[in-house]
Structure formats: C-alpha cells, structure tokens
C-alpha cells in the first residue's frame, strides 16, 4: 500500500505505508510511479510475512494435539 501525493507542479510522490520509506519523488507519470512502486521490497512487510510463516507451523501443531 502506498500513499501518493501531488506536488504543486503536478508531479507525484509515493510513500510506502508499511515502512514509511519514500518510494518516488517528483515523478511525472502514473505509469512511472507504478513501476517504481512495483520495484519496492518493503522490509517491514517481508518481516511480517516471515513471522507469520514461522508461527503457522506452531499453531498447526497445537491444533493437531487438541
């Protein structure tokens, strides 16, 4: 998820809502902004996915014991 803002000159900025990094600044087109957002690897989102994957097997084991 990204937060997009428009500058006074009409160009766009984008910020990741997970890690709050600025992904793009002063970009002229929506296409270029989408391309840059598509290349962003959010460390916060990756860590959350890794934690969820680690916890999933433990919760399945607990359910199996019940």
* Per-residue pLDDT, 22: 96
Residues β-bridged to residue 2? 16
Against a cut of 0.75, is the pTM above it? no
* Per-residue pLDDT, 56: 80
pLDDT along the chain (66 residues), means of 10: 96 96 96 96 92 79 63
Q: How far apart are CA 51 and CA 15, in angstroms?
A: 24
| Residues 6+ positions from 25 with CB-CB distance below 8 Å | 13
Q: In this structure, how many other beta carbons lie within 10 angstroms of the beta carbon of residue 15? A: 18
Q: Which of 51, 49, 27, 48 is nearest to 37 (CA)?
A: 27
* Per-residue pLDDT, 64: 65
Q: How far apart are CA 57 and CA 39, in angstroms?
A: 30
């Amino acid at each position: 998820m990204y937060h997009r803002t428009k500058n006074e000159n009409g160009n766009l900025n984008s910020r990741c809502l997970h890690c709050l990094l600025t992904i793009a600044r002063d970009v002229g087109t929506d296409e270029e902004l989408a391309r840059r957002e598509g290349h962003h690897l959010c460390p916060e989102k990756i860590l959350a996915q890794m934690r969820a994957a680690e916890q999933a097997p433990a919760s399945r084991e607990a359910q199996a014991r019940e």
